[in-house]
Structure 1
Amino acid sequence: MVGLLIVACEIGFWLFILMGLTLRYVFKQKKWGAFFLVCTPVLDLILLAATYIDLRQGAVASVIHGLAAVYIGVSLAFGHQMVKWADARFAYRFAGGPKPKGKPKYGKERSVYEMVGWARHFISYVIGAGLLYGLTYLIQAPERTEALIQLVNTWGMILTIDFIISISYVIWPKKHPENITG
């Protein structure tokens, strides 16, 4: 059940964003557009409540239950950025806004971009791991919540790999082809 709810929440997230941006730019209904954009975190609360209820009723935690916390962490840490990304493209396509900029490719700008991305990943990890530990504490059944702690550890390794990749852009910034001499 929780797996289907995660899929439904992800679809709902993008539908709320699409509805909000369509109302804002196509139908010029800024207040209604803002309403739908603000509603996206409600999906996170529904998902968290359903996960808790499922575990509280005796379900053995699985990676799927853990993904609910991962989804919430990522949604909270990256959600505003994703909405901003979609908003810029909608404004360009439907409201004559400026052409959206892509991610920087070279130098200090790319280094900063990569480290900000890692910082968001770290924030999502802190939120998600906190939720996973919180669920484990609330359920008070370590034999049923072991998968949640394993997910925290796996995600921690992924976060470490992401840091190594991100910091490499700081240590060895990619130079613009015009600036390479040789």
Structure 2
Amino acid sequence: MLVTIIILCEIGLWMLIAAGLVSRYLLHRPRLGAVLLAATPLVDLLLLTVTYFDLRSGAQAGFTHVLSALYLGFSVVYGHRLIAWADRWATHLLQAGPRPPALHGMAYARSCWVDVLRTFASLLIAAAVLGLLVLAVGDPTTTAPLLDAWRVLGLILAIDVVWAASYTIWPKRPHADMRQG
């Protein structure tokens, strides 16, 4: 059931973003759009609440509970950036605004290293959420797998570091259409 809630929260997040952008650009209701975009953290709150009650009701902690904490951490840290990205593309596509610039070369590598810091922050939030769930539920036999999630968090950070290092060593080249224009 928790996997379904996580999927529904992801769908709900994108629906709020889409509704906010449609309100802002197609309906010309910028305040409504801002309210809808600002409501996206409510999705995180819902997911955290459902995760807590799932564990509190005696469910054995597992991967879905860890996934819930990861989703929350990534949403908190990357959520604003995701909305800004969608807003730039909506401006470009719906109001003939400038095309969002594509990064390449060392600018892209620097962006990747900044993302490593963001990922680290999101993993810290996920770890804190997992720790709080362990404390709030208060049943070590039920929540023990949440403490084993540290390996998953470390693996995610390692993948992000390798990603950034690879683009530092082999910088991203501009697309062919960018080189011609």
* Paired position in structure 1 for 2:93: 93
Question: 1:173 Cα deviation (Å)?
Answer: 5.4
5+ residue gaps, structure 1: 178-182
TM-score normalized by the length of structure 1: 0.89
Partner deviation per Cα, 1:65-87 (whole Å, 9 max, x = no partner):
11111110010111111111111
Partner deviation per Cα, 1:92-137 (whole Å, 9 max, x = no partner):
11112111112x2212x12211101111111110101110111112
* Paired position in structure 2 for 1:153: 151
TM-score normalized by the length of structure 2: 0.89
* Paired position in structure 1 for 2:139: 141
* Paired position in structure 2 for 1:105: 104
* Paired position in structure 2 for 1:180: none
> Letter of the aligned partner of 1:139 in structure 2?
V
3-state DSSP of counterpart to 1:146: helix
Task: State the Cα RMSD in Å.
Answer: 1.6
Question: 1:164 Cα deviation (Å)?
Answer: 3.2
3-state DSSP of counterpart to 1:41: helix
* Whole-angstrom distance in 2 between the partners of 1:28 and 1:70: 35
Distance 1:130 1:94, change over 3 A: same
* Whole-angstrom distance in 1 between the partners of 2:172 and 2:167: 10
Aligned length: 174
Pair 1:66-2:63 in alignment: no
* Whole-angstrom distance in 2 between the partners of 1:57 and 1:27: 44
> Letter of the aligned partner of 1:106 in structure 2?
G
* Whole-angstrom distance in 2 between the partners of 1:16 and 1:50: 19
Check the 8 A contact 1:20/1:36 in 2, yes or no.
yes
Distance 1:24 1:55, change over 3 A: same
* Whole-angstrom distance in 2 between the partners of 1:71 and 1:6: 8
* Whole-angstrom distance in 1 between the partners of 2:140 and 2:158: 26
Identity %: 36
3-state DSSP of counterpart to 1:101: coil
> Letter of the aligned partner of 2:171 in structure 1?
K
* Whole-angstrom distance in 2 between the partners of 1:57 and 1:6: 18
* Whole-angstrom distance in 2 between the partners of 1:76 and 1:2: 19
3-state DSSP of counterpart to 1:110: helix
Q: Which moved more, 1:7-16 or 1:141-150?
A: 141-150
Pair 1:174-2:171 in alignment: yes
Question: 1:147 Cα deviation (Å)?
Answer: 2.1
Partner deviation per Cα, 1:28-49 (whole Å, 9 max, x = no partner):
1000000100000001001101
Question: 1:160 Cα deviation (Å)?
Answer: 2.0
Check the 8 A contact 1:111/1:173 in 2, yes or no.
no
Check the 8 A contact 1:60/1:144 in 2, yes or no.
yes
* Paired position in structure 1 for 2:33: 33
